[in-house]
Amino acid sequence: MKKHKNPLASLGLAFGLALGVSFSATAGEFDGVTLKVATWGGSWKANMEKIIVPKFEALGGKIEFVTGSPAANFAKLVAGRGRAPFDVMEVLDAQVGDFAQVDYLQPINLDLIPNKANLQPFQYNTTYVGSWNTQETICYNTEKFAELGLPAPKTYADLAAPELQDKVSLPDINSGAGLANFGGVIYAAGGDEQNIQPGLDLMKKINATKFWTRGGETKTQFESGDIYAAVVHAGWCTRAARAGSPVMTVHPEIKPGVKGLAKEGWLGIMKSSKNAKAAHWFINEYLTTDFQYEYAINSGVFPLNKDAIEKMKGDEINAKLMELRPDAISSMLRLDYSKVDKTAWIDGWNKTLTK
């Protein structure tokens, strides 16, 4: 991810010192504080309620969740001209460019996030701290592919097999994974962020009839037999596997030396927040080994915490369906969204796939 400079970033350290934020917290330190966190619902919120919320309550505070997609929460920011109904927000990598155009985030004092030591240096800066990533894959039903006499797919183009007609599910361009996975298809077809036509041609060739807006739809579709393959992050494939579906992931070949696609999540603190001290505490807790591992196992996202990644190797399904080698993870495709014309991508998609 490119580091987009926030106008206030240089004031980060002074900001933190002025607040008197400390690394540790003591009982009663957050008495009367209600921290509002913008995140998804479901298992995302449930894991925070299980692990992070009790710790904050023990310090006297309360955490409330504003549930919705990052796109929906950004819309709330725009509508309120930056006056956010929350303190901390989950931000997708595809939104970093949007935030760079506005002044809605306050600087993060990295000295107050000691658990950043569990991350790679590129996974934090004075505007954002990394929270998770996903490994975008092709998830397929091994039994159905065998019945059809099809080998395991290696590329997106393999989904265009006639035998798979009406049995492939792709992420809708407007879903949280839509831009990322369309970008993967574009690159695999020989294009890039500014040359999307090869990707559109390949999408038309695949001729999918099912497009998901929530990854959980693919789990249900695998269970019902409505689909034999889906482009979806590995976590949804692991959930399908845990539910009994005979599925396997493939990290698609994108181009020479690049196999697989990564989508990244970040945490930012709203400029309008009056609870920066608690917000820093929350981000630091988000990076603990316990939370990162629990989150990954139950939600299907991939942890950034190094120790949590090691623990993932002890889970049979994750070890089988996710890429756990650091070198392979670092070499996955990561889109440069600063070069993406979202309007052109969405218009091209709609004209090609919704005729």
CA dihedral (141, 146, 148, 150) positive or negative: positive
Contact 276, 59 (CB under 8 A): no
Residue 308 has pLDDT above 70, yes or no: yes
Cα first-last separation, the chain:
34
Report the amino acid identity of residue 34. Answer: T
Residue 287 φ then ψ, to 5°:
-95, 5
Contact 268, 88 (CB under 8 A): yes
Confidence (pLDDT) at 355: 59
Beta bridge partners of 233: 136
Take residue 328 and report the two structure tokens written for it.
Answer: 């392979």
pLDDT in tens, 230-280: 999 999 999 999 999 999 999 999 999 899 999 999 999 999 999 999 999
* E strands in 142-186: 168-171
Per residue, what are the HEC states of 299-337?
Answer: HCCECCCHHHHHHHCCCHHHHHHCCCCHHHHHCCECCCH
The better pLDDT of the pair 23, 133 is held by: 133
**pLDDT interval class at 24 (50, 70, 90):** low
Take residue 103 and report the two structure tokens written for it.
Answer: 């002044």
Confidence (pLDDT) at 219: 96
Q: Is 120 strand, coil or helix?
A: coil
Confidence (pLDDT) at 298: 86
Confidence (pLDDT) at 354: 74
Cβ neighbour number for residue 132 with a 10 Å cutoff: 23
Average pLDDT, stretch 48-57? 97
Confidence (pLDDT) at 205: 96
Average predicted confidence (pLDDT) for the chain: 91
Confidence (pLDDT) at 15: 37
Percent of the chain residues topping a pLDDT of 70: 93
Q: What are the residues whose beta carbons fall under 8 Å from the beta carbon of 354, sequence distance 6 or more?
A: none
201-206 long-range contacts (CB < 8 A, ≥24 apart) are 202/156, 202/157, 202/160, 203/170, 203/349, 203/352, 203/353, 204/352, 204/353, 205/157, 205/160, 206/156, 206/157, 206/159, 206/160, 206/168, 206/170
CA angle in degrees (0–180, nearest 5) for 163-168-174: 155
d(CA 133, CA 327): 15
Burial degree of 39 (CB within 10 A; 0-12, 13-18, 19+): buried
Q: What is the pTM (predicted TM-score) of this model?
A: 0.85
d(CA 266, CA 56): 21
d(CA 255, CA 263): 17
